[in-house]
Chains A and B, each alone.
Chain A
């Protein structure tokens, strides 16, 4: 029998239903796997007791024929989701030993569906980063290595711990959050599926806020089918998040028909950026070939404001962050550093509690929202954002989907790109426009670099049409036949 940690969610579900193994056995194998991958620093908090207890309850429900959608499936949770009674850090010192007295809606949905919590995964501090290097608890190491080169690589970020845990076979799936690419970019760099649903599809309630008009929870898995299964359990309207949309959640798995004949797929010329590595260009061409072979009609399209997406994002996201992070004041929860008076206490607490990247973004956000600069920066960026969204609206008059590379390059070494913030921001050049426009996007591992590192392709869909997106991603996944394994795996 295949090792339990090598199964997909769909296979594990079938195995549990057929009583080939118990939820308890599946959980035990994964608890051990989480221990085995400790050198990667993927988990900030391991919750083996929770896992075994939840698995025990799953076995009872399975025996009674009352299995939920994710009954007995062990998952890793990005440490940005509040989990009742379990420390939640956002990978920041400022949250101190914060133990939420409540559960986020998305995780509550997962537990209600029978899922099993393995632990809380590492991330960039407050999800601000593309490498997992900004975590206050140290970087995550990718389980991948370049051929003949033992240097430690980043898993991507900000959902780097979730990506590493799924790639290294320590969890069957994970949840992340994506504000500018934080699910899709680490997915692509770690050789797994990462999906950002349409803004409003999954509730943000109980997720530590970074940029509220952009943040969206999403699934990270090893197959598109698993992604469809996990999304269905996560998604849904939540009265506690006024931006969550009251639409029924489809059975996404049923959308995976394997038939995408006649779909019109757009290839945006603006994504052919200067200095793009030949390997990315070749992968994209290969992707176009696969879609064409599957019966899609390929169209060249233009998204003229693409190059302005990153600079617009680096006004809008820090502005929202500076506002959201104002709550960390040393009064109600988290770190407090004593001061001579109230303001001194605020300043010392926030000076000690925020890392360099968070501080940088809060300062930028404060500046662009300050009197005299608000119109020139913030309002201008919101207008450019409208232009970017219009580009997509125009494009979707003639196409059903858009195909692009997921990232401008493969995983880089830990410590690289740290000197120049803008060089780091460029990692998200292909993912950020999707957040600014609220659209769903998915990255699918589609090939390897010459030195053996995963590369991903991104599909972008129409708002709330995750079904078409997943159907096409499933076909792309089969065509690519990505079978490479990372250097380090549990088991």
Chain B
């Protein structure tokens, strides 16, 4: 699959990564190279094969639905870029 700058811009938007305009074209070339290379997988016959989701055959364990941690708001916020009054903050999202 060959990607152009418009496609890369769309993917970057989905990934929420700002990509400078001048880097779109070279990035499109790099990503196209990788995608073309991975397309060799089309040659593998995978008819009737279940997609693998886990390498170890284990049933995920159940546990009590109980609070095991918490009560440490200061620790939770210790690394926040701009905490305020015990909360994380984001730019205004509603007018």
Contact = CB atoms under 8 A, between A and B. Distances in A.
Interface of A: 96-99, 101, 198-200, 213, 239, 242-243, 245-246, 305, 308, 311-312, 314-315, 322, 326, 329-336, 338-348, 350-352, 354, 359-360, 362-364, 366-367, 370, 377, 379-387, 389, 421-422, 436-438, 463
Contact of A363 (B17, B76, B80): B17
The 10 closest A-B pairs by CB, nearest first: A438-B55, A351-B18, A382-B51, A333-B79, A336-B81, A383-B46, A101-B75, A347-B18, A386-B52, A366-B15
Most buried by A among B38, B44, B75: B38
Interface string B22-61: 0000010011011101111111101001111111101011
Given A331-B88, A363-B12, A422-B33, A380 B41 contact: yes
Interface in B64-95: 72, 75-76, 78-82, 88-93
A351 B38 contact: no
A20 to B, nearest CB: 42
Given A364-B34, A389-B52, A98 B79 contact: yes
B90 A331 contact: yes
A111 to B, nearest CB: 19
B79 A384 contact: no
A122 B5 CA distance: 34
Contact of B60 (A242, A352, A377, A382): A242
A363 B15 contact: yes
A249 to B, nearest CB: 16
Contacts of A315: 38, 41
A367 B31 contact: yes
Contacts of B61: 239, 242, 246
Most buried by B among A198, A384, A387: A384
B51 A386 contact: yes
Contact of A334 (B19, B81, B93): B81
